[in-house]
Structure 1
């Protein structure tokens, strides 16, 4: 089991329930069995007490004043039918034996003290002429012949049938109890899962929140009351975070705007100066600053304004125009720029200006990394892809995910880069519902791909 599942709230709720139901089932089954056997013993004791009272009720006083047991014929036959199972003995207040069955039990009882009004239990292990153990009780009772002591007992195996019937009953219902417990446990687990469903939905919403979706808030409806304060606190934190992002974006846009005018003045002043090596270096630095300011403005626009991608754009035309516009610049950098177009229009839904910016950024990146006198190829594919390939050093596999992060630059990147160009490309593709990827070229170098979802008209 993974560490994450061990820390699951659902598991923490269910495991105590499982333990409780298992212990509860065991306790209930044990209690039912104990009560069944206890009830069997209680029934046996009550039967003996009733039998003793029944025997006392059949005592009569004879004319000479002595007591005699006058059993009805049916009771006499019942006792005679099981002489080894049921035994009794009756003594008068003077200690004389009135009646006994068998007589050997009467001989034993004659040596005992008189019974009291509270039942006194006994276990008779040995009875002359009998091999059974007997369990019984003695009671002091009133009768027509006066106070008497009555002892009744039953052989140990005589209650086997009752115990057997009780055992069968217990085991017939014992398996139902764990089944019921399992059913109740299943209902408890399903109820727990249902109760935690809003929390799982909450986590999905939380996972979708990022720098570009800071306006999203966690829903507070149908949440357990224990979690509502946490969700409310997280939403307040997101409010503060969104405000911080807004201030940062506004600052970036304002700073970029404020820098454009001084840079334009500096660029114009440098153009009017006499050529020199120092001037060429200054012009390169100013060009880099102009490029950085332009990228910052692009980032600010992408962050602040939702891009309209509802137009129909022919990727073939966009790629061809970008190559035509940037070819002179590439030649000035001692690189060649080529175009490999599709035979038919490649139409996608998008924003033509944003797609052009993405292609230009990829071309600038490829030219910066390609060796002198090499060729950068821009291709438009029928399946909605634009590829820009170069013959440079390529991108190591471990850097291919991070290369589209803002301000991230590899150690081998040119010094004039700011780490924003590819991040802008990724944001543009995200707005179009597509993706930006990088892979190794067939003959070395890198291949950057803009993959667009095809429009319904193109399909």
Structure 2
């Protein structure tokens, strides 16, 4: 039982299925109890006797004078019962005056002599015969303007014998068979019903799992959703619309603010460059450069966060990496850092935004160059399914690895004057492509791995091509 938790009982499928099973079991129990009660009481037997009298009455045969002389062939087949059990059962037909015109061979010894039990009306009656309680039923018949009365009688013990030892086993077998059929039929019906009823919920769950900051335009499907859940799905879609609107407004404000700051910063820089060379002028130029870099990174972050800004084309990964390394060669030379490029899969192609991939690689290389000691090397390795960038710097504490990609986070190891957005931009670009970027502590230094996996349906082949599925 340790494997059964409250989470399992919270399943709608399980709860509905258990309700079906409980209903079926209760129905079977009530059916069995009802059958036992009916079979243990002679009320049903007496009703059966009256019904039998009514049924046989329609099959009486008459002579030319209209006097009853027997029964139809289908009834004659069972009248032997009255002859073979003379003290337990009997039948007779009476005229309007109560005179017997036809009876079973032993009827005269069974029926009482007293006319108090004639009961020449439709219904049931009882009487005593040789210490036995006899149950009878009368059925009036109209034929050729005359009224005849058919009476059947049977002892209590005879009817109990028939019901308990013959009818009850048959009823029990019938109840068992009915219960099995009920369980199988309802179980199959419940399974099919739940399967098709809960399928929309599975589709909703899959759709909800795909929603991210890059797919806020996705809405949960409403078609086929049960009426009880449709309002919830509609409310969730409305919440997504409000969330998307707020996200768009935030991103537009960020991009607009950064764009508006670029022009005044450029004008300030131009004016400072026209001023005479002083220490104060140099510090101001440094501050303006820092602010311009921050503004540029904010613009890049706003663009990287919007998937519609990407234009995917086939890109030769080794060529793109080599171009980025060449672009940053001057920066590496200035800091006396060597760039080592190893192309382990020279023919690798993939669907990507070329400009975004360049920005991602540039940020990774800049970060590595800035933290690499003078005279050390930064290694760039290109494989068929991943790209790694490693420096030989002081590295970072294990507790800070998870914070490297957070916005504006700057650790004590930072040696650059950046805004703490470079690696965040790398993460946003990687997510937009369905890739994964991670940082790993090395001895010495730090390594970043860009994993080109298939989360967004990109198929990586050994031939070196990436094909969008």
TM over 0.5, shorter chain: yes
Residue 251 of structure 1 corresponds to which residue in structure 2?
A: 253
Hey, what's the Cα distance between the residues in 2 that align with 1:363 and 1:195?
Answer: 53
Partner in structure 1 of residue 112 of structure 2: 90
Q: 1:17 to 1:401 in 2, by over 3 A?
A: farther
Q: Distance in 2 between matches of 1:35 and 1:269?
A: 108
Secondary structure in 1 aligned to 2:226?
coil
How far apart are the structure 1 equivalents of 2:409 and 2:46?
85
Runs of at least 5 residues in structure 2 that lack an aligned partner in the other structure: 55-81, 83-87, 139-150, 453-457
For the Cα contact (< 8 Å) 2:258–2:299, is it kept in 1? Answer: yes
For the residue of structure 2 that corresponds to 1:211, the secondary structure is coil
Aligned twin of 1:385: 386
Query: What is the TM-score normalised by the length of structure 1?
Result: 0.71
Q: Secondary structure at the match of 2:105?
A: helix
Q: Which residue of 2 aligns with 1:7?
A: 10
Alignment match of 2:240 (pick from 235, 238, 241): 238
Specify which of 20, 25, 29 is matched with residue 23 of structure 2.
20
Deviation of 1:292 (Å): 1.5
* Residue in structure 1 matching 2:201, options 199, 202, 217: 199
Q: 2: CA distance between counterparts of 1:400 and 1:316?
A: 28
8 Å Cα contact 1:327-1:336 kept in structure 2: no
Whole-angstrom distance in 2 between the partners of 1:325 and 1:398: 33
Q: How does 1:296-311 map to 2 (within 5 A)?
A: 296-304=298-306, 305-311=308-314
1:251 is displaced (CA, Å) by 1.4
Cα separation, partners in 2 of 1:19 and 1:335, compared to 1, 3 Å: farther
Match of 1:325 among 324, 327, 346: 327
The answer to whether the 8 Å contact 2:89/2:154 transfers is: no
Q: Indicate whether 1:435 and 2:465 are aligned.
A: no
Paired residues of 1:40 and 1:166 also in contact (CA < 8 A): no
For 2:340, what is the secondary structure of its paired residue? strand
CA deviation vs aligned residue, 1:372-419 (integer Å, no higher than 9, x gap): 5543222223x1432111234545666655643444556765684434
Q: Secondary structure at the match of 1:288?
A: helix
Distance 1:231 1:409, change over 3 A: farther
Match of 2:289 among 287, 290, 294: 287
Count of matched residue positions in the alignment of Structure 1 and Structure 2? 404
- What residue is the counterpart of 2:169 in the other structure? 168
CA gap 1:227/1:46 in 2 versus in 1, 3 angstroms:
closer
2:33 to 24, 30, 33: 30
**Greater C-alpha Rg:** 1
Which residue matches 2:464? 458
Q: CA RMSD in A?
A: 4.3
Match of residue 97 from structure 1? none
Q: Distance in 2 between matches of 1:178 and 1:401?
A: 61
- 2:225 corresponds to which residue? 223
Distance in structure 1 (CA, Å) of the matches to 2:117 and 2:403: 99
> Tell me, which stretches of 5 or more residues in structure 1 are unaligned?
62-66, 80-86, 94-113, 128-133, 141-149
TM-score (norm 2): 0.70
For 1:297 and 1:16, how far apart are their aligned partners in 2? 57
**Deviation readout 1:144-167 (Å, 9 max, x if unpaired):** xxxxxx9x8747478435422212
- Equivalence for 2:361: 359
Offset from partner CA, 1:22-67 (integer Å, 9 cap, x none)? 2122222333444455534644788999988847969x99xxxxx9
Task: Name 1:75's counterpart in structure 2.
Answer: 105
Q: 1:155 to 1:4 in 2, by over 3 A?
A: closer
TM-superposed CA distance for 1:281, in Å, is 5.1
Q: SS of the counterpart of 1:216?
A: coil
Q: Which moved more, 1:114-123 or 1:224-233?
A: 114-123
The offset of 1:274, in angstroms, is: 3.4
Q: Distance in 2 between matches of 1:316 and 1:56?
A: 111
Aligned mates of 1:47, 1:236 — CA distance in 2:
69
